Chains A and B, each alone.
Chain A
Amino acid sequence: MKLLRIYRALLTAQLQATAQYRAQAFLYVLFSVIRPIVFLAAWVAVANARGGSVGSFDVADFAGYFIALTLVSHLCMSWFAWEFEQDVAQGNLSPRLLRPLHPIHYAAAANISYKIVTSIGLLPILLLVAVSFHARFQTTLEHLLLFIPSMILAAVLSFLFDWVQASTAFWITRSSQVSFVLGRVSFIFGGQIAPLALLPGVLGTIAYALPFGYMLAVPADILRGGVDPARGLLLVGAQALWVLLFYAALQRVWRAGVREYSAVGA
């Protein structure tokens, strides 16, 4: 109950702060739609050149996938590692460490409020793209019921993953470069360039052994009805395992990192 009350107050404050930057929110929405649409357009061109499909994906499937992926990546986005580098280097973390509330909660509230504000602009655009590309969704009620936990787990996993990376700032001054490199890896293995099912040979196997796909491609595939519910359930279980793993990792890294913190400046 205490945490709920804190979150209500934090969200009230954060929503006001986020709502002040309309231009930033607009640009963000634009940016988050442009990239998947470029990939979608490329895959549509490839599919058309090959007689209408690539593997099991035709143009309407690609549209469904990239639209679902855009929504998922929007709801999963976590950018904390980029800010935390400065917070540690300049000592801005100090005031938050002095409060009897783990700093992760401030970041979580900021993350949620930003998504609430930006989703308002994103959803109509996604709807428009879906209609224009005749996107195919084979979603059943079972898929929708699976999508909810899958989406939540993906968002939590992405957030924890981000925090583990962020915590490297206690040791590495330019820790955002760690995020930069991992972002590139996620580009391939998260399903941002292509659906995981289309990754050639061993790359597909690797993708399912790494955490990136569980933050993006897996919930996207479930949302568009691209996996059968039994396999979907298995994938959600794998997501839960990754969440547990990163939660444990964060506990260890954070505890060790705070000992290293030198609270520079003040």
Chain B
Amino acid sequence: MNAPVFVRDLAKSYRVHEREEGLGAAMRALVKRRYRDVRAVDGITFEIGEGEVVGFLGPNGAGKTTTLKMLAGLLYPTSGEATVLGHTPWLRESRFLTQITLLMGNRSQLVWDIPAADSFRVLQQIYEIGESDYRVRLDELSDLLDLGPLLHKPVRQLSLGERMKVEFAASLVHAPRVIFLDEPTIGLDVTAQTRIRRFVADYNRRTGATILLTSHYMDDVVALCRRVLVIHHGKLLYDGGLADLATRMAPYKLVVVTLADGASPRFDEFGEVVASEEGRTTVRVPRESAAERTAAIIRAFEQQVVDLSVEDPPIEEVIDRVFSGERPLSQVRS
């Protein structure tokens, strides 16, 4: 219970109105409605320690955002318990709200018609930040995010990338101890994504804030999180190191062999050939026999091998295998 984020058997069901397509069904629904309970989060349990940056992975509709909303106090759960910094989030006590933030990549919290600097003044009063603290924090955030003149332009005149940086500053000006980030880089170009990633890493290092992040961009997760939670159909499938994820979820490795003179002999006897072009062949081999198969490849093509590497499959591929049902879920549970 001492962890900044503590979650036990947390579940959330939504009641959804359901009807067949067509006019007849629409008319029937006027009189009698049919509802179905959808279990968005189905009894998940985890803890996050002080200063950790944890990635929350899962396909659309897996329950990531619903979990984040419950932990930020926006949603009441159907059952289970959670504490964030010792508070029950959905009671939304002021003491709790002043110590957390939830930044949603597709949701703006700034007043569009005025410069962000004026919205920041409102936040200063809401969070009771003293003038000198306010100045120091704003300078620091300006510095990290390179805000400069952006604060003095009306928000509606900012580009998406610029606005996102300002949104970040607005979410952090009260120096929250726990930060929930929901798709913080969605829609941003590669440069802006990289900058935001670097900022989150820096911010975590400087302040020791605890961060739980969802993203569809694996680059975000790889750059920021050593630990990941994988959720699918509302259930937690994996909780552990990012590096171990591949080991648990993908029972194979990739041997990439480049032969001299662009030769492409048959590699079928060593494993499944997944790519082959201009003398460079990628062979998928069972993880447990990777060393043995690699040695066999070297023996077979000793004179021709120019380059050879043994790699874990890309993390996107690993996750995709789990979510597409290719890998039985029972085998990946941590």
Q: Using CB atoms and an 8 Å cutoff, list the residues of chain A in contact with chain B.
A: 2, 5-6, 8-10, 12-14, 16-17, 20-21, 91-92, 94-101, 259, 261-263, 265-266
Number of B residues, CB within 8 Å of A: 36
What are the residues of chain B within 8 A of A94 when measuring CB–CB? 69, 74, 102, 104, 107
CB contacts under 8 Å to A, within B65-108, are 65, 69, 72-76, 92, 94, 97-98, 100-102, 104-108
Contact check, A6 vs B97: say whether CB atoms are below 8 A apart: no
Measured between alpha carbons, how far is A21 from B112 in the docked complex, in Å? 13
Inside 8 A of B128's CB, which chain A residues have their CB? 2
| 13 intermolecular pairs with C-beta atoms under 8 Å apart | A13-B114, A13-B121, A14-B111, A17-B114, A20-B113, A94-B102, A98-B72, A98-B102, A99-B123, A100-B97, A263-B69, A263-B75, A266-B105
How far is B100's CA from A80's CA once the two chains are assembled, in angstroms? Answer: 28
Q: Is A99 touching B75 in the complex (CB atoms < 8 A)?
A: no
B104 touches A266 (CB 8 A): yes
Smallest beta-carbon distance A18→chain B, Å:
8
Q: Which of A5, A20, A97, A266 is in CB contact (< 8 Å) with B106?
A: A266
Task: Establish whether residues A12 and B121, one from each chain, have CB atoms under 8 Å apart when the complex forms.
Answer: yes
A-B contacts at CB below 8 angstroms, number? 79
What residues of chain B lie closer than 8 Å to A21, measured between beta carbons? 113
Cβ-defined contact, A91 with B92, below 8 A = no
- Whether A17 contacts B74 by the Cβ 8 Å rule is no
State whether B127 touches A10 (Cβ < 8 A).
Answer: no
Bound together, the chains give a CA A17 to CA B125 distance in angstroms of 19
- Known contacts A16-B118, A261-B75; is-contact A5 B107 (Cβ 8 Å): no
Known: A95-B104, A100-B126, A266-B182. 13 other contacts (CB 8 A): A2-B125, A16-B118, A17-B114, A95-B108, A99-B126, A100-B94, A100-B97, A100-B127, A262-B14, A262-B75, A263-B69, A266-B106, A266-B107
Closest CB-CB distance, B195 to chain A, in whole Å?
Answer: 22
Task: Check: B309 CB closer than 8 A to any chain A CB.
Answer: no
Say yes or no: is B119 at the interface (Cβ < 8 Å to chain A). yes
Q: Does B122 contact A (CB under 8 A)?
A: yes
Quick one: which of A9, A262, A265 contacts B125, CB cutoff 8 A? A9
A92 — nearest CB in chain B belongs to which residue? B107
Given A94-B104, A98-B97, A98-B101, A6 and B122 contact (CB-CB distance below 8 Å): yes
Which residues of chain A are within 8 angstroms of B121 by Cβ–Cβ distance? 9, 12-13
Contact A97 B74 (CB under 8 A): yes
The residue that A91 contacts in the complex, of B14, B97, B101, B107, with Cβ under 8 A, is: B107
Q: Is residue B109 within 8 Å, beta carbon to beta carbon, of the partner chain?
A: yes
Taking the nearest CB of chain A, how far is it from the CB of B96, in angstroms?
Answer: 8
B264 within 8 A of A: no
Assess whether B127 is in contact with A266, with CB atoms less than 8 Å apart: no
Chain B residues within 8 Å of A265, by CB: 106-107
Give which listed residue, A13, A20, A263, contacts B118 with CB less than 8 A.
A13
Name the CB-closest residue of B to A21.
Answer: B113
B194 partner residues in chain A, CB cutoff 8 A: none
B-chain residues with CB within 8 Å of residue A96 when the two chains form the complex: 109
CB-based nearest A residue for B108:
A95
Q: With A and B bound together, what is the CA distance between A21 and B113 in angstroms?
A: 10
Complex Cα–Cα for A261 and B108 (A): 18
Interface residues of B in 274-317 (CB under 8 A from A): none
Q: How far is A226 from B111 in the complex, measured between Cα atoms in Å?
A: 43
**Chain A residues in 8 Å Cβ range of B104:** 94-95, 266
Q: Which of A8, A12, A20, A101 contacts B126 (CB under 8 A)?
A: A101
A21 and B118 alpha carbons, distance in the complex (Å): 18
Q: Which residue of A is nearest B110, CB measured?
A: A95
